[in-house]
């Protein structure tokens, strides 16, 4: 069972089998277009909510990706180095960026549910 939270800058954090994963939303992947490169942090790095923890590059633009909560990186998706297209194919699944440990899971309460996030994009769209 997976639960997804989203933030305004289009990253999601998902709890899947007791593990947290962070990536960019389907909406973001679609807006960015074909992704050509993903730069990810080292395992063990820590970030405060709102810090940029990596960058994602498409033929259109290079964008920062921001930590949705205070976190420590426990794994990075090494496959994205050779196959950045995974982010386009399945951003909220196989195209995850990092796995993380949260220091304060209550920060997730400040994020948006999928319904609220979809509504935000629809309004802006």
Partner 1 sequence: MARLIFDKSRPGSRRYDVADFTGLEPESPFVPDDIRRAEPLPLPEVAEVDVVRHYVKLSQENFGVDVGFYPLGSCTMKYNPKANEEIASLPAWAQLHPEQPVETAQGALALMHELQESLAEISGMHAVSLQPAAGAHGELTGMLMFRACFNDAGEERKVMIVPDSSHGTNPASAAIAGFKVAHLKSDERGMVSAKALKALCEKHGEENIGGIMMTNPNTLGVFEQEVKEVAEYLHEIGALLYYDGANLNASLGYVRPGDMGFDLVHFNLHKTFSTPHGGGGPGSGPVGVREKLMPYLPHPLVTRAEGGFAFYRPEKSIGRMKLYFGNFLVLVKAMVYLRALGVEGLKRVAENAVLNANYIQERLKDAYDIPFYQRCMHEFVLSATRQKKLGVRALDIAKKLLNDGFHAPTIYFPLIVSEAMMIEPTETESRQTLDAFCDAMLRYAREIEEDAEKFKELPNLRIQHLDEVAAARNPVVRWAPEKL
Going from the C-alpha of 70 to that of each of 45, 52, 65, 101, 111, the distances in angstroms are 11, 11, 14, 9, 13
59 binds partner 1 (CB under 8 A): yes
Interacting positions 67-86 with partner 1 (CB under 8 A): 84-85
CA separation for the pair 70, 34 (Å, rounded): 29
116 binds partner 1 (CB under 8 A): no
CA separation for the pair 41, 47 (Å, rounded): 10
54 binds partner 1 (CB under 8 A): no
Are the beta carbons of 71 and 47 closer than 8 angstroms? Answer: yes
60 binds partner 1 (CB under 8 A): yes
CB 80 → partner 1: shortest distance, Å? 12
* Binding-site ranges for partner 1 (CB under 8 A): 31, 33-34, 36-37, 57, 59-61, 63, 84-85
């Amino acid at each position: 069972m997976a639960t997804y939270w989203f933030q305004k800058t289009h990253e999601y954090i998902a709890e899947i089998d007791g593990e947290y994963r962070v990536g960019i939303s389907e909406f973001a992947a679609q807006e960015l277009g074909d992704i050509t490169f993903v730069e990810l942090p080292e395992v063990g790095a820590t970030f405060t909510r709102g810090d940029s923890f990596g960058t994602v590059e498409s033929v259109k633009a290079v964008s920062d990706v921001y930590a949705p909560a205070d976190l420590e990186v426990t794994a990075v998706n090494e496959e994205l180095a050779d196959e950045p297209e995974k982010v386009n194919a399945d951003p909220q699944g196989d195209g995850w960026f990092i796995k993380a440990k949260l220091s304060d899971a209550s920060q997730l309460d400040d994020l948006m549910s999928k319904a609220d996030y979809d509504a935000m994009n629809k309004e802006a769209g």
